[in-house]
Structures are given as C-alpha cells and as structure tokens.
Amino acid sequence: MRSKLLARLLLFTMTAFALMAAATSYLSARELKTMLESEYKARALAIARSIADGSTELLLLQNAGSIQAAIDQHQEMGDLSYILVVNSHGDIVAHTFTPEVPKVVRKVIAEDRSASGAGPDIRTLRLDDGREVIHVAQPVLGGRGGYVHIGMDTAPIRMAATRAIWRQLSLTMAALALCATLAYFFMRGITGRLDSLARYAQQVAAHDFSSTCDVRSDDEIGALAESMRSMAGDIAGHVTQLEGFMAGATLELKDALGSLSAIVGNIADGLLVVQNGRILRHNPALLRMFGLPEQDHTGQSCEDVLGGQVCQAASAPAGTSAQPSLVEVLATRGDGQGFSVEITVAGVPLTGGVANVCILRDITATKQLELEREESRALLERMVAERTRELSRANTQLKIEVAERKVVGDALRRAEAKFRGIFENAVEGIFQFSPEGRYLSANPAMAGIFGYDSPEQLVEALSSKSPYLEAERRVAFLELMEEQGQVQSFESQARRKSGRIIWISENARKVVDSAGKTLHYEGFVEDVTLRKEAESRLVHQAFHDPLTGLPNRLLFLDHLRMAMERARRRSDFRFAVLYMDLDRFKIINDSLGHDVGDRLLRHVSDALVACGRSTDTVARFGGDEFAILLEDLTAPRDAIRFSRRVLDEISKPLRLAGREVTTSGSLGIVLHTGAYERPEALLRDADTAMYHAKALGKGRFKVFNTRMHHQAQELMEMEIELRRAVGQGGLSLVYQPIVDIRERRLVGFETLVRWRRDNGRDIPPVEFIPLAEETGIIYPLDHWVFAQACCAAKIFSQALPEVPGAERRGLVVNVNMSAKHFRTPLLVSQLEQTMRECGVPAQALSLEITESVLFDNVQSAREIAAKLRDLGLGLCIDDFGTGYSSLSYIQRFSVDAIKIDRGFVAGLAAETADPGSEAIVRTIVTLAAGLGLKVVAEGVETREQLAYLLELGCRYAQGYLFAEPLTQEAALALINAGAAANWPGYPEPGRA
Amino acid sequence: MSESHTQSPRRPGLTWLATAAPKRLCRVFCLMVCCLALLGSSARAAVAGHTLVFGMSAAFSGPARSLGMEYQRGIMAAFTHVNDHGGAGGWRLALSLRDDGYGPAAALNNTIGFVEQERVFALLGYVGTPTTARVLPLLKYYEASDMALLFPLTGADMLRDRSYDDCVFNLRGSYIDETRTLVEALLATGRKHIAVFHQSDVYGRNGWDGVRRALAAHGLAMVAEATYGRGAHFSEDFQREVGILLLGNPDAIITVGTAPACAAFVRDLRGAGFANLVATLSFADADNMARFLRAQARVTGRDYLSGIVFSQVVPCYEDKSLPAVRLYQQSMARLRGPRPPQLAPDEYIPQRYSFVSFEGFLAGLALAKVVKHLGGDPTRERLRAIFEKIRPVDLGLREKVDLRPGIRQGLRRTYLTVYRNGHFIGVDNLKAVAR
C-alpha cells in the first residue's frame, strides 16, 4: 500500500514534469530558431546590400577581377557560404563557388532575371551537397547593374536550436531528478507516517491497546495521530468500563435472584405462579394459608391443590404486571374451612407462554379492619371540615393583606413615576457619573444643555471626551468632591455638541454605599451662560459710562493709579491728566433737549478718543465732564498739543437734529504728576486748572501750576473756615437801610453778611459768597442769614409800634438769596418754616435774587418764585441791568422790585457823568413804573445822585449817603429814632 | 578630438576607447606615433647609412612559397650585383622580408609593419594578386608619404588601373595580356572550345576575365569553367573539377592557378584521359610545376609535361644570347650565404635558375637603374618623379624597358614556352606543341 501510493504520486509528478519540460524545450527551440532565422535573414540582407553597393561601379566597368576582390573580402568575413555576382546580361561575373556554381543557384539566377524585381529576394535553398542556405538576391541599381547573390549557411541556426534544446533538456532532466529525489523523500515522509497510522488503527481494531502510535508532528497527520491515540484511549476505557459493568450486573442479578427468593419465601402473602392451570411456583406462605403440608407442589394441577374457584381466578386472563386485576374469591382451606381471599393476578410473558403471577391474601382480618376504618374516616372528615373552615378564614385575611400590599405598590409606582417625571422634565440637567468620570445617566434637560438629541447620545459622547473646555476642570471637580463630598456652583466652561462654548454651573454630591465607598456622583447642571454674560455686562457697566461707552470715574481712577505706580517705578515714565468741561453744555441740553445733549456728548467723546492714542484713557465723569489720561509722554508739549487738537476738534460746528450746534470745552491739565500720592488729588488739581481756564474764557486750556495750587489751598482753607464760621457763628449780619427818598423815611434794610476770619481780616461777600456757592456752604449760610433776618425783622417790627407814625407800614428786610436755591424745591418749605418759627409775616421779608436765577432752570425757578410770592415774600432783582435781563422774565417771575446796580448810579451826576447811565436809569425807572415795580437805587453816595434819582422818579435808594451798613443795634436805634417815619438828618438833594 | 568629446562620456569615440583592449589602444597609439614620425622625416626614413631598404612581403611558406623564394632570390642576385659594383648611384640596396604565406590579411599587416615600424624606403616585389590587391587601398592611405609598391609579381588588372599610377610601378605584363596571347595562340591552332580552370579569387578571376574577354573579341565563350580554393597542395584531388570541365568537351584548357594546384590538375586531367593542350600563366611558376610533374611522372611513368604551354612574361632564362640572361646566370651563381632567418620555416630547395628568379633579377636591375637617378636626395617623392620621367632603361634584353606609368609600362611581351627534354624553350606558335 505504501509503495503504491508513493509510486503513483511520484509517477504522476514525474510524468507531468517531463511533459512540461519537453514542451517548453521544444517551444523555446522553435522560438530560438525562428528568431535566429529572422536575424540571419536580416544579416544576409544587410551583407548583400553592402556588397551590392560596393560593387555597383565595378559591375558597370565589367571588371571581374575587382569584383572578385570585393567579394573575396566579404567572403573572408566567414559568415557567408557563397557570393555570386551577375552582370546586367545575366552572366556570372564573379563567384566564390568551388569548383562550380551549383545548379540550384543557377536556376535561381535565371529566375531572378525573369522576375526582374527591384527589391531583394530572400529564400531558402538546399544546395546539391545537402546544405541549406539562406539565399539573398540583391539587385544592383534595381537589376540594371546586375545582381548580387549571397548564400548564408543555416547550419549555425540549426546547431543553435539543437544546442538550446539539449541545454534545456539536460537542465530540465537535472531539475527533474532533483525534484524526484525530493518528492520521494517528501512523500515518504507522508506515506510512511500514514502507514504507521494504519497499522496502529488495525491494532486498535484488534483490541490491542498495548501499543501506541509514535507519529508526532504538528501537521494534519500529527493531528490525526493525536486524535487516533485519544480515540484508542477512549475505546480502551469504554471496553474496560463495559466489562466492569457486565461483571457488576451479573453479581447484582445474582443478588437480586437470591433476595427475590428470600422475599418470595418470606412474604406473608401467598405467591402463586400459574401457567396453563399448572403451578409453576409457590411459596410457603401459600401453603400455610391453605393449610397444606409443606411440600413442593410445582407442576401439579392448580385445581387439585387449591380448589376450582381459586384456580379459575388465578388462571383467568389477567392484565399486565403494571395493572394487575384484583379479584376476591372464597377459598377452601385444607381442613375444609372457607375463607375470603384476595387475589392479585398479573400476566407475565415467559418463555413457555403467558404465566399468571398471583398474590393471594387472606382478607378475613382485613375485612374486619375495614369496618373500623370506616368509622375513623367519618371522624376524620369532620375534623377536615373544621380545618377547612379555619383555612378559608386565614385565606380571606391573606387576600386582604395582598390587596393592601397592592395599594402600597401602586403608591410606590406612582412615586417612582413622579420622580421619573421630575427627572425627565426638570429644567436643570441631572446626571450621575462614576468616580472614573464616566457618565452613567443624564436627563433630557442635560442633553439639551449640551446640545444632544437624547440622554443616551450625551452619555455616549461624554464617555469618550470630557465636556469641559479645560480638561483640568474635571480633576478639580473630582478633587473637590473627594475633599468635601459635594460641590456647589462649580462653574466651568463647556463645549456643546455644536462646538459652541457655554458656561455651566454644577451642583453635585457624592453617593456612597453603606461601607462608605463611592458609588457615583449625582447632581444638577445648569446653563449659566446668560447669567455669566449678564455678569460680564454688569462688570462692564460698572466701569463704563453707558452713554458713551467710555470708562467711568472708577475705571479712570484705577488706570490713573496704575499710571502713578508705573511712574514711581520708572523715572522716565511721564503722564498727564486732563480735565475737560464743555462750555454752555447746560444751555444746549436745556434748550435743544437731552437727546441732542446726549448726541453732543457722544460726539465729544468720539473726538476725544480720536485725538488720543490707544494707550490713553478717555473717561466721562458724568454730565459734560471728561477726564483724559495721557500715558507715556515724551515731553509736556505732547499734552499741550493734544489739548489744542481737542479744543479745535470740539469747537467745530456740528449739525445735530437739524440745527447747527457749536460748543467748546475748557481744559485743565496737570503735567507735573510726580508729587501726587493720591489720584483723587491729581484729578482735583486738573479740575482746578480747568476752572481757571474757564475763568479765563471759553475754549481754553490751562496748565495747573503752583500758584493755582496755592490759590486752591487758600480757597480750601477758606472753605474750611467758612464752613466752621457758618456752623459756629463766625459770621455776622449788618443791615443797610433802604430809604423812601420821596417820603424821606426808612422802609427797610438789606441784610449783608460779614465774615471776619480767624486772622482778623474781614472778608467781603464778593470773595466768599462764590466760594460758598461753589462748595455748597451757601445753603446753610443763606438759611442762617434768612433765619437771622427773620429774627431781625421781628425785632424791628416790634420796635416799630413804639415809633409813632410808623405802624402803618412795616419795615421789609431784604435777604440775598443765591441762585442755587432756586434749584431745590425744598427752599419754599424751609423758608416758610423759618418764618413760622420766628413768627414773622412773610410781608416783612423780601428775597433779593440775581438775574442769573432767571436763566438757570427757568421752569423750576419760575415755579419756586411763584410759590414764594404766594407766601407773601417779596422778590427783588439785584443788580438789575448788569446781566442778560429779559423783561419778559421779570414780568413772568412776578417780581415786585428791582435794584439799579450801583454802577449805573455812580454814573449819575458826577463830574464824569455818563449819559448812558442816566438813560439806563431813566429807562429802568420808567419801565418799573410801567410794570408797577418798585425801583431801588443802590450805592447812592452823593446828594447830586439823590437829586437826580428824585428827578428821574426813582422812589427808593440806599447807600452811604444815608447810612453805612449798620449792626442790628444801630439799626434798632435808627428805628427807634423814628427813621421809619421820618429819616433823621435827611441829606438834602442838590447839586454840588 | 573636439572638446565636446571630453565633456560627454557617452560619445561613441570614448566608448570605443573604453571598451577596446589596452593592447589595441597601445597599437593604435604606436601607429599614430609612427605616422607622425614618418611625415616629419620622410626623407630620412628609408635611408640608413647610405643603404636604401625595401620591404618585401611574399609567400615564403605554404604551397605558393616557391614564388616568393625565387622572386626574392632574383632580386637579391641583382642587389648583390649592384652593391658589389658600388651600389646604385652610391646607394646600397637592401631587402627587408616578411612572410605573408600568400594570405591577403598577412600581407596587409606586413605592409603596415614596413611602413610604420621599419620605415622602408619603398615596397618591392610583393607576390600574388589577392595579397597585392588587399594592400592597394593601404597605399592610398599612405599616399601622403608617397609610399610606392614596386614591381609586384602579379599580372592583376587592377594594379594597372590608372588611379594607381602614382604608387604602383609594374615591370611585368598583365594577365589580360598573357591570356589574350594564349587565347590567340590557341585559336590560331583552331581550338575554339576553351575551358578555364581557375583559382577562386582575384587572381583566378583576372585570368578568367582575360580569357573571357579574349574569347568575346572573337564572339566566343568558354565552354566550361571550374574553380578551386586558394592554397591547394599538390596532393589535392581535382577529379571532380576535371569532370566538370570535360562536360564542356573542350579542346584546350587554360589554368589560372599556382604551381601545386595546376600540377595536380594536370595530373588528374591526364589521368582522366584528356590529351589536348593545357596552358598555364606565368604565375604558375613553370619551373616549380615541372618539378611536381616530374616527380609525379617518376611515380606513374607518364609524361605529364608534354602538351602544356607555359606562358611567361620574361624571356627564357636559358637564352644566353641575351646579356641579361648572362648577367643573371653569373649573379645567381654568386648568390651565396645563409637564407634569411625569417625564411626558415619550410624546407625549400631553390631552383638553380627559374623564370621567377629571372623576373626578380630584372626587377632588381630596373630598380637600380631608377635609384641611380636619385643622387644625393633619396626621397620617395623624388623616386616617383623619376619613375614618371625616366627614359626607357636597358636591362640587357632585346628592347629597352619603359618604366613610366601608362599603358606601355614594363615588359609588354608574353613568351610562350614548352618543356622539352628537361628544358624550357620558347615557341612562336603552338602548332608544334599540338599533338
């Protein structure tokens, strides 16, 4: 078998190989031959051509010798077997044949003549001596010069082909032999192992498990051998096991047989095996039951031994052993006594036919027992019924319990659904995630926050990448969680699915199990992007002016502080602070409306920003005030240049709401910033400089200098003192009498404030009143003055009755009231209260106001003025004619008196009399008369003036001509002197 | 070589240089150096101590060696005579020998050796048509140095071509003349069926051509022809060729071949029963042929030599009425001394006298006459000039010989001889020869 397989495989391989080798060698030889032939032909053609070309001339000359020389030379090259040259007549002129030109060649030459082709003719000829040649006939000059014939032996081609075949064959045979050897060894390796496997299988088949198969390798055969080995092992095991089983079964059978015999012998019931009416087997119990002698009745007739009735019952066709038939028959004992016997018959198929196996039982005693059992069963049934009742009761109770349980379960489910609903529908995102940072669950709101369609998507997406924009937030979150067990308002930036960045706030806690191990974290997440944005907006608003978007005071101060810091650190760092205020902004705002005002402010802010560099800070402090911080200046003149540019820019006319608006600004500059400690001080000085600029006129700038500083300091000191003076009574009042020059009597006083400073110097009101107005001291001051005036008025009016003839008309005390008061609606009530406290009638007081009151805030001033007039207070316009008085205002403000400024009065009736003044005074007087207003001339000092005033029709006057300002006591004395009725020592008006 | 050659390494010229064996490269280099030297001092090249050296390449071995040997002996006899008598115009004449074994390639190499290595004054006494035919283009190549081939032992037509007038100078008549004389003589005897047996090369073709033309002049054509390969020995069997020729049923056969071949052919021809006339050309070396046939006759007992006409370009060397013959016989008798070593390879027994050596002797004499005119200015250019204008010289023959280039150059007559009683004798016609 082994040799057959091996031989067959080898034979097949070798045959295939040999066939292939033969085919390839034949083919390649053919190929080579064809190739060589074509190559030889090409070569022959080339040679023929070259000979033809070289012989052309010689042929024409008919010089056979030279032609021969030429062809000899070619012949010597060795490639050609012959060369032959034919002239145009067809005669052979030269050739290289020896001894003669073969007939074949002659024939060809003759053919060529007849064919007379112009091209070369190539053919293969077989010469007389058997050689085969490639014959080329090359015409010279297209045949007219003759022909050149050459022959090239084909032997080299055939030799090359043969050599190639032999080479190929020998090579192939060598390869074949090698392959055969290899194949033999290779196949022997396979078949040898198969053989040993087969032998092994035969041994196993012959139940010889002793030997093993030693074929071991990792290929298929190895696997086969391995499985055969294991199979053989299994078979051996099975055989051994089966034999063991068999022995065991035999033993068991023996035991069973023994025990069965014992059982048969020992059972109390009678056993009878009957077949065809004959006893096959019986046991001693049967004999005892039937009272028969103890002997073997096997083979005897059943009827004979046991009686007909029993035998009939036992022999009757019975059921199977599984369902034995049961009959009860009356049997007869050996002694003739009858007894009841129960026979169980079962048919057993035995080898000799069906045998009946019968168990016989004497049931005499059993019958008796049955009766007793009947009784006990009745008893039992009763007990059972009782028990059943009990059980049904318990059952009912259980049902009730079950129902209750169901109710509780429903409630739980409802609660679960409720919480689920909360979870699902919560606005906040709810999530659970593992300590490793993997999301366990999330609700739809969370998915919504992160821009996912469903929580599942979210969980999947966030498992692979952290939602946070900054990866370290997760670490921070987990650290915080481990530290505190919870995180609250953990705000971070996160990336939505769409890539949009949002702010989220997380509140989460750690969920631990009973052992304290972290199960997961759960919490809420909220999209706080809107809040964050609002916050940042608020922050921006806190530091910026909403109208212009410029930094506000706070931010400016901050920048300024930083600039100062920088200047402290770097000596070469210069900066300047500018303070700007728009001139007449208030007027524009009031007259053209806030809208235009706002647009103007925006325009100005734009201009400022445009003039400044990016490093500069332009801030708006509210109203029309701007501050500019110029940083990193190379020289002070940079700031000056900036100021000029700003002022130029601002002063350009502007069209707003269809109107041309022109504004200008005043600038205060602080250049020497090195000495300041506090930014506020720096700002203040810039402000001061600005005020100076404003004071110099509109549209200017002023650099803060030391003098200003001193002035400012001075002012400050003055302010402090003044404030103290107002509070502590450092001020005093004097009263300038007002005289009715027509009736020559005292009609009232003008209250004047006097302030003596701590250094003893008296400060005139023109100096400190503006200060007071500026610093707001004016409010307490004026109130104090008013209160004093009220008291004085009361004293004066009380003094009046003592003066005969004066009671008809009371004295009026005039009080100067700053224009500022007309901005506070409280004024009226305050004045009213003061008057009430002093118990002075309003008619006793009059308020002197400057014309400027009328222009500032016209509407409110008018209302206040009207209220004051309603109270009964008088209203007098001070220094009339110096301001931009508008007569319509005077009428509208229901003023009851005007005072002619002392400037005009001084121009009357003097050496340097001013005809203008006279005209003004006359006009005022005429006007006042027309409007029904009282006219008071101030500063009357000479009789001439008095005379003049009288002449003009002015009724009231005051001045040194009558009296200096008096103290209260002096005033009182004057009243007491009866001045109210008749001015003592009235100067006679007249001309000098 | 232009500059671009050196720039591009793939030029064919350099490729050739790179692939050529170093030896070949070396040889080319030497060749170039020699050429340059030659061009630079052409006058002094061939002159060494008042001796003019002439290069002779001939068959000194192989079947045709008797031609070379005899021709050299004749020349040497003349040189010895001239040199013994004070030289030619004071110049001693010397020969430098190289063996070409009747092979064209060897002849070519020898010539290059003469011109470039030995710088001979001129080439003298080349033997054979194929060899000389191969050297001819080389002479054209050396035209600038005026190299000349003097008195070659061949009657080839191409050597008499006018284009070689300035470098080839002949003494002997052409094969055309020889064959024409033969054909005329044969026709005169009434033989019109002429066949040709010839060597299958230039020499054979020349003879064949001569016969063809001569016959064509009479409106005839040769009745048969057969060829044999060059270098045939006497032992060669020519029965097949004889058979071919006899198919034409000729009444005369002209052989154009070398001595051994012709002798062998005659042997087989006679063996085949052809009793009619056989003619041979001068190049067949009648003396040598006679030697072969005599030897053969001794074997077979037949007389092979009768019925053969030997055409010759010189008179019979036994005609003592000619001064040249007398001088020749004296000089040959004096020719002694060892053979030059390069002639040693083959055993050769020289003829006492022969047509070939006589021709060589005449050539030597003619050369001496020319050299005498060189005087004190031995340049090749002058040599050629002398050849072009020299008056006919007296070589001791019945008429003077004109050496100037042209149709009348050299020995014009063809002598017909037959072998009779151990001697060659000249005949005027072939009537007596015919049997």
Q: How many whole angstroms separate alpha carbon A620 and alpha carbon A542?
A: 13
pLDDT of residue A398: 94
Q: How many whole angstroms separate alpha carbon A701 and alpha carbon A646?
A: 10
Q: How many whole angstroms separate alpha carbon A934 and alpha carbon A104?
A: 171
Q: Who's near B119: CB < 8 A, 6+ residues apart?
A: B34, B37, B38, B45, B46
Q: φ, ψ for residue B419 (rounded to 5)? A: -100, 125
Supply angle C-alpha A53, A57, A58, rounded to 5: 105
pLDDT of residue A390: 93
Query: Does a structural domain hold residue A901?
Result: yes
Q: Are residues B420 and B307 in the same domain?
A: yes
Q: Are residues B251 and B354 in the same domain?
A: no
A71 touches chain B (CB under 8 A): no
Mean pLDDT computed over A378-394: 93
Q: Which residues pair with A936 in a beta bridge?
A: A899, A956
**DSSP letters of A823-864?**
G-THHHHHHHHHHHHHT--GGGEEEEE-HHHHHTTHHHHHHH
Residues A936-949: tens digit of each pLDDT: 998 888 888 888 88
Query: Does a structural domain hold residue A487?
Result: yes
B149 touches chain A (CB under 8 A): no
**DSSP letters of A122-159?**
EEEEE-TTS-EEEEEEEEEGGGTSEEEEEEEESHHHHH
Per the structure, the count of domains in chain B is: 2
User: Could you tell me the residue range of the domain that residue B181 belongs to?
Assistant: 175-312+416-427
Contact residues, chain B, for A72 at CB < 8 Å:
104, 130, 201-202
Query: Does a structural domain hold residue A308?
Result: yes
Q: How many whole angstroms separate alpha carbon A261 and alpha carbon A243?
A: 27
Query: Does a structural domain hold residue A214?
Result: no
pLDDT of residue A854: 67
A69 touches chain B (CB under 8 A): yes
Q: Are B396 and B155 in contact (CB under 8 A)?
A: no
Share of residues in chain A with pLDDT > 90 (%): 7
Residue with tokens 């019945």: B398
CA distance B258 to chain A (A): 16
Query: Does a structural domain hold residue B435?
Result: no
Query: Does a structural domain hold residue A256?
Result: no
Q: Are residues B369 and B398 in the same domain?
A: yes
Query: Does a structural domain hold residue A390?
Result: no
Q: Are residues B355 and B285 in the same domain?
A: no
The string over A11-49, giving b where at least 16 C-beta atoms fall within 10 Å of a residue's C-beta and e elsewhere, is: eebeeebeeebeeebeeebeebbeebbeebbeebbebbb
Token representation of residue B232: 């045939």
Average pLDDT, chain A: 84
pLDDT at residue A712 greater than cutoff 80:
no
Residues A263-322: tens digit of each pLDDT: 878 887 888 888 877 888 888 888 888 888 878 888 888 887 777 778 888 777 766 666
Query: Does a structural domain hold residue B10?
Result: no
Token representation of residue B68: 């070379």
The string over B150-166, giving b where at least 16 C-beta atoms fall within 10 Å of a residue's C-beta and e elsewhere, is: bbbbbbbbbbbeeebbb
Residues A91-110: tens digit of each pLDDT: 888 888 888 888 888 888 88
Q: Are residues B276 and B357 in the same domain?
A: no
Q: Are residues B136 and B66 in the same domain?
A: yes
Q: Are residues A548 and A529 in the same domain?
A: no
pLDDT of residue A911: 67
Q: Are residues B182 and B138 in the same domain?
A: no
Instruction: Give the chain A residue whose CA is nearest to the CA of B238.
Output: A99
Q: Are residues B215 and B94 in the same domain?
A: no
Q: How many whole angstroms separate alpha carbon B435 and alpha carbon B431?
A: 9
Specify the higher pLDDT residue, A801 or A113: A801
End-to-end CA distance of chain B: 70
A interface test, pick of B178, B209, B241, B265 with most A CB neighbours within 10 Å: B209
Q: Are residues A485 and A590 in the same domain?
A: no
Name the amino acid, one letter, at A602: R
Residues A855-890: tens digit of each pLDDT: 666 777 788 888 888 888 888 888 877 766 667 777
pLDDT of residue A230: 87
Instruction: List the single residue in A73, A76, A100 with the smallest CB-CB distance to B244.
Output: A100
Q: Are residues B236 and B188 in the same domain?
A: yes
User: Could you tell me the residue range of the domain that residue A16 belongs to?
Assistant: 2-166
How confident is residue A991, by pLDDT bands cut at 50, 70 and 90? Answer: low
Query: Does a structural domain hold residue A250?
Result: no
Contact residues, chain A, for B232 at CB < 8 Å:
none
Q: How many whole angstroms separate alpha carbon B261 and alpha carbon B267?
A: 10
Residues A760-794: tens digit of each pLDDT: 888 888 888 888 887 888 888 888 899 989 988 88
pLDDT of residue B350: 84
pLDDT at residue A424 greater than cutoff 80:
yes
A61 touches chain B (CB under 8 A): no
Token representation of residue B7: 């720039």
Residues A475-530: tens digit of each pLDDT: 888 888 888 888 888 888 888 888 888 888 888 888 888 888 888 888 888 888 88
pLDDT of residue A115: 57
Q: Who's near A701: CB < 8 A, 6+ residues apart?
A: A578, A640, A643, A644, A647, A666, A667, A668, A669, A693
Query: Does a structural domain hold residue B162?
Result: yes
The enclosing domain of A479 has a CATH number of: 3.30.450.20
Per the structure, the count of domains in chain A is: 5
Query: Does a structural domain hold residue B27?
Result: no
Query: Does a structural domain hold residue A187?
Result: no
Residues B398-414: tens digit of each pLDDT: 888 888 887 777 888 88
Query: Does a structural domain hold residue B34?
Result: no
Chain-centre distance for alpha carbon A445: 16
Query: Does a structural domain hold residue B33?
Result: no
CA distance B133 to chain A (A): 7
Residue with tokens 């699902």: A424
Q: How many whole angstroms separate alpha carbon A741 and alpha carbon A989?
A: 9
Q: How many whole angstroms separate alpha carbon A480 and alpha carbon A521?
A: 12
The enclosing domain of B155 has a CATH number of: 3.40.50.2300
pLDDT of residue A799: 82
Q: Are residues B187 and B302 in the same domain?
A: yes
Q: Is the dihedral of CA B399, B401, B405, B411 positive or negative?
A: positive
Instruction: Give the chain A residue whose CA is nearest to the CA of B134.
Output: A69
Mean pLDDT per 10-residue interval, chain B, length 435 residues? 36 38 43 39 50 91 87 92 88 90 90 90 91 88 87 86 82 90 91 92 90 92 91 90 92 92 93 90 90 90 89 90 92 77 69 91 92 84 88 88 82 88 85 65
pLDDT of residue B5: 37
pLDDT at residue A401 greater than cutoff 90:
yes
pLDDT of residue B49: 62
